[in-house]
A and B are shown apart, each in its own frame.
Chain A
Amino acid sequence: MTVAIHVDHLTRKFNDLVAVNDISFEIEQGEIFGLLGPNGAGKTTTLAMLSTMLKPTSGSATVNGMDIEHNEDGVRKSIGIVFQDQSLDEELTAWENMDFHGRLYRIPGDIRNQRITELLNLVELENRKDDIVKTFSGGMRRRLEIARGLLHRPAVLFLDEPTLGLDPQTRNHLWQYIATLNKEHGITIILTTHYMEEADRLCNRIAIIDHGKIIALDTPVNLKNGMGGDVVTLKSSDPSAIVAALNEPWVSRIEQHDGQVIISLKNAEQHVGTIVTLLNRDKIAIESILIHKPTLEDVFLSFTGKTIREEEADGKANMRMYQKMMRR
């Protein structure tokens, strides 16, 4: 296997704020790699550094074997990017946006036209090619941006929150595109997301990133298996009492969070009866009880002690600060 992206102790500071804190990882060619974390965790800053838009404070990285600091143009030629915020010219048509990109990447005219037609077909926008982008829906714009990012045949495609703000149907559709691109065209994809479901469904491997650090990195299956089989979530008015009452050897992990008790264990269906009996004996009222296979949400919670939504509330303030500083 060849390495597509190699990241070595990469750090980025904005004044006192450490947006990306000493991260290291490797992405192999042909992988779909996900950076999962709340807004403001440092995902976009990481992508900005890997795409040469931002200089690292320290550490280094290579993309397709080229150093991000010393061979900017080489890196830029070999990657395609779909930014988190739209970056199309709304006054131009779909075709013209593609054509502009093709010319910027110096693709000769005949090849350019042929590829634009192919890609617009791929993202099903061929029949709208001469319409001004202003008239496009959010999903259409995203598809056009993905098509544009592929025009110069990049070896690695960066997708920054590719389905942010899209309706569920369009999101499903886009996931299929991304999976197809990876499978049929062999493109390495690195995507950032704060949707658990998206990371779970698309990615071969996931790095969970929080406060600028990678706190876990593995395949989605391994991450979930690491939780120890099943998860039982109990709701109660006295969660601390539950934690005290369930001090049993078959409980591999028990956490209390936001009025809920989350218990990781093997073979939950065999133990749920015991749980109820134990709690009844101690006269602890149970509001609800839920047994499920662990999700990435549980994984995130167990690593950070918070749900991604709570992290987001914290992260947003930070993110606004980054954005301000990045403009400086």
Chain B
Amino acid sequence: MDIIYTIWLRNMKRYIRSKSRIIGSVSMPLFFLLFLGFGLNSVVQIPGMDENYIVFLIPGMIAMSVLFTSVFSGIQIIWDKQFGFLKETLVAPVSRLEIMLGQTAGGATTAFIQGVIILVISLFIGLNSQSITGFLIAFGFMALIGIAFTAFGIAIASRMDDMTGFQLIMNFVVFPIFGLSGALFPISSLPPAIVPITLLDPLTYGVEGIRYGLTGVSQINPLVCLAVLGGFTIAITIIGAYLFRTIKS
């Protein structure tokens, strides 16, 4: 536990010091929220939902913020590799599993905080939730997304030598995960042929779970969301730990 804490602590210190990164990764979901939200608010009517489009969009943007931050945090191991710091941890008398779990905890925490920042901003632009339980449900799903996708990032980083493949991963893996998740539009509005694909996307369940917590409405039963996302988180953490075990410095 102390080793996991040590590595988590290092991640926190680095996070707090990287002001530009904090602002940078808040800005994209925020722009989406403002431009898409306010721009489409009057033209888009979500079927079966009384609220504005912007309220529909908020859970999606929170999930997006957590997703991007966590994948990036996981992939950051490549930087540690390139700057040599990874060797320092790998040669210490600690297990690879502890290092991986510490890194996951650190990445998930930063991603969670980024999500909370978007959530707090959302309170000022139309989110109108009074339920404490609702917030706790949303927090729970944000934490799960954070853990799952940090582990996902670590799994990728364990198989990459440098950052050259990073853009490729972003364009062909992370953006589709985001786009298919129902963050921007309701799953039910999609052509029936595409619906099954969105249901294969683990983030869909995260977005729906957060949406249930914050707006009280979701298209997928929140318990199903919890089961699927929880299962995915456990599976990907095991895969990440397995791949990290054989990482070369």
Interface residues of A (CB under 8 A from B): 51-53, 72-74, 76-77, 81, 83, 85-92, 96, 100-101, 103-106, 326-328
Contact = CB atoms under 8 A, between A and B. Distances in A.
Given A104-B94, A326-B248, A327-B248, A85 B2 contact: no
A93 B15 CA distance: 14
Nearest to A104: B92
Contacts of A89: 10, 14, 83, 85, 88
Contacts of A326: 248
Contacts of A106: 2-3
Given A76-B93, A92-B14, 19 more contacts: A52-B91, A53-B90, A53-B249, A74-B93, A83-B87, A87-B85, A87-B86, A89-B10, A89-B85, A91-B17, A91-B18, A92-B10, A100-B6, A100-B9, A103-B9, A104-B6, A104-B89, A104-B92, A104-B94
Contact of B93 (A77, A88, A100): A77
Nearest to A91: B14
A327 B89 CA distance: 16
B13 interface: yes
Q: What is the interface of chain B mostly: helix, strand, loop, or mixed?
A: helix
B93 A105 contact: yes
Given A106-B2, A327-B161, A51 B91 contact: yes
B165 interface: no
Contacts of A85: 84
Central interface residue in A100, A327, A328, by most chain B CB within 10 Å: A100
A326 B17 CA distance: 33
Contacts of A77: 93
Contacts of B161: 327
Contacts of A83: 84, 87-88
Given A96-B13, A103-B3, A103-B6, A88 B85 contact: yes
B3 A104 contact: yes
A83 to B, nearest CB: 6
B2 A103 contact: yes
Interface in B64-113: 83-94
Contacts of A101: 88, 92
B87 A53 contact: yes
B92 A76 contact: yes
Contacts of A328: 248
B245 to A, nearest CB: 13
B92 A90 contact: no
A76 B13 CA distance: 26
B196 to A, nearest CB: 38
Contacts of A73: 93
A86 B6 CA distance: 21
A106 B6 CA distance: 10
A92 to B, nearest CB: 6
Contacts of B17: 91
A90 B91 contact: no
